[in-house]
Amino acid sequence: MTTPNARGPLQVARQQQLLEALQRDGSLRVSDLTEALGAAAVTIRRDIAQLAAEGLVRRVHGGVALIGPGETADAAAADDIAPSPLETLRGCTIGMLVPSLDYYWPDVARGAEELARELEMRVVLRGSSYETEDDRPQLTRLVEQMGVDGLAIAPRMDAPTARRTLEWLASTGIPVVLLERTATAGPHHAVVESVVTDHALGAEMAVRHLLSLGHRKVGLVLDEHSPTRPHVRRGWLEAVTDHGIDGSDTVDVVIPGARSPLRDKALDEVLDRCLATGTTALLVHADAEAVALVQHCEERHLSVPGDLSIVAYDDEIAGLFSPPLTAVRPPRRSIGRAAVRMLADRLLEPNRPAHRVVISPSLRVRESTAPPRLATLPRQSDDRRR
């Protein structure tokens, strides 16, 4: 995680060693320095580029040399032979840490791998967990044992160790890009580079689609464990408020995770609330929750989309269900590709300003949404509730 003109202790020590080696030998090849300093070629090239920009050394073909006696930094820069971007990045290793290897994140990893291959870079993928209290051990292995040149990570931002982990990453001098997360670090709260989906926009798109069908009460159901939850709710609330809808007069609930024994009861209460308020459409995050809710509708003889239109958020499995669910699809592969591109640009230009990339999701309209019926949702008999 680098900020303009900032170096971590490890980077400072390595560059000092490089300068000492040049004082001794005059000029050195990159291959000699990788062996002597125990760092990857792309890391050495990044150090050389930074030192050359400061007028301390000049790049030569395949290596680096000290600026000669009487030679000005400007003259040395004029003779500077810079490697091509592809040559600089070739062999670079990116460490990727994601909280799940079976939902959402595989497509992000595939996108990262695709671009890394095009740039002749390599991705080392590791999985964490949404329950992990400390991502530091995994990150330490990637940095210290595997010697990665950059990190694309989605850490637990609500863990008690999160702030310390970010500060440690800043001290390494290694470029870091956060995936679907945002943060600041250091005493000056420098922005950590990030690539995120505009989840609030995705929620707004879903609500506007439902409103365009004629729904006037559009509710929201969220999974309690998702870090995306506040962004989706913000987009939903802005959209319904903009259309003069009172969000408190419909469904706005957070339900327990799939492993909770209270989950089924919570889903039934969602449908009870829909009946009580006349809510005819729901935005549900994520797919698993949307699928479970449709199944509860079937048990209660409620039709989707006849009685209740449902839009899922994530579109991992929504299109495979019956009926296929209308869904907001985050740009997962694009998130992975953008993270690798950002790391590559940082490796090529260490002092560039910090970047934050926001990518828009898309809406896939399928069979779970339709105009509302004229009548409100049918109430269930008391017999069903016994």
Structural domain includes residue 88: no
Structural domain includes residue 1: no
Q: Is the same domain home to 106 and 142?
A: yes
Helix (H) or strand (E) holding 60: strand 57-60
Q: Is the pLDDT of residue 229 over 90?
A: yes
Asked if residues 51 and 21 have their Cβ atoms less than 8 Å apart, the reply is no
Euclidean distance between CA atoms 343 and 152, whole angstroms: 8
- Which token pair is 116? 């890394």
Q: What is the pLDDT of residues 252-305, one digit of tens each?
A: 999 998 889 999 999 999 999 999 999 999 999 999 999 999 999 999 999 999
**Domain of residue 372, residue span:** 199-325+366-385
Half-sphere exposure of 262 (CA within 13 A, CB side): 9
Structural domain includes residue 187: yes
Q: Is the same domain home to 174 and 27?
A: no
Q: Is the same domain home to 279 and 350?
A: no
Q: Is the same domain home to 33 and 161?
A: no
- Which token pair is 335? 């998130």
Structural domain includes residue 216: yes
CATH code for position 63: 1.10.10.10
What are residue 29's phi and psi, to 5 degrees? Answer: -85, 155
In angstroms, what CA-CA distances link 92 with 88, 172, 339? 8, 17, 14
CB-based contacts of 179, cutoff 8 Å, min separation 6: 98, 108, 152, 153, 154, 194, 195, 196, 335, 336, 339
| β-bridge pairing 63-66 and 27-29 | antiparallel
Cα radius of gyration (the chain): 26
CB-based contacts of 383, cutoff 8 Å, min separation 6: none
Query: In this predicted structure, what is the pLDDT of residue 374?
Result: 65
CATH code for position 125: 3.40.50.2300
How many domains are there within the chain? 3
DSSP code, position 249: G
3-class SS of residue 52 = helix
Q: What is the pLDDT of residues 338-352, one digit of tens each?
A: 999 999 999 888 889
User: Worst-scoring range by mean pLDDT, 82-96, 121-135, 219-233?
Assistant: 82-96
Q: Is the same domain home to 254 and 378?
A: yes
Q: Is the pLDDT of residue 80 over 80?
A: no
The neighbour count for residue 81, using CB atoms within 10 Å, is: 10
Mean pLDDT score of the chain: 88
Q: Is the same domain home to 177 and 299?
A: no
Structural domain includes residue 4: no
The structure's pTM equals: 0.79
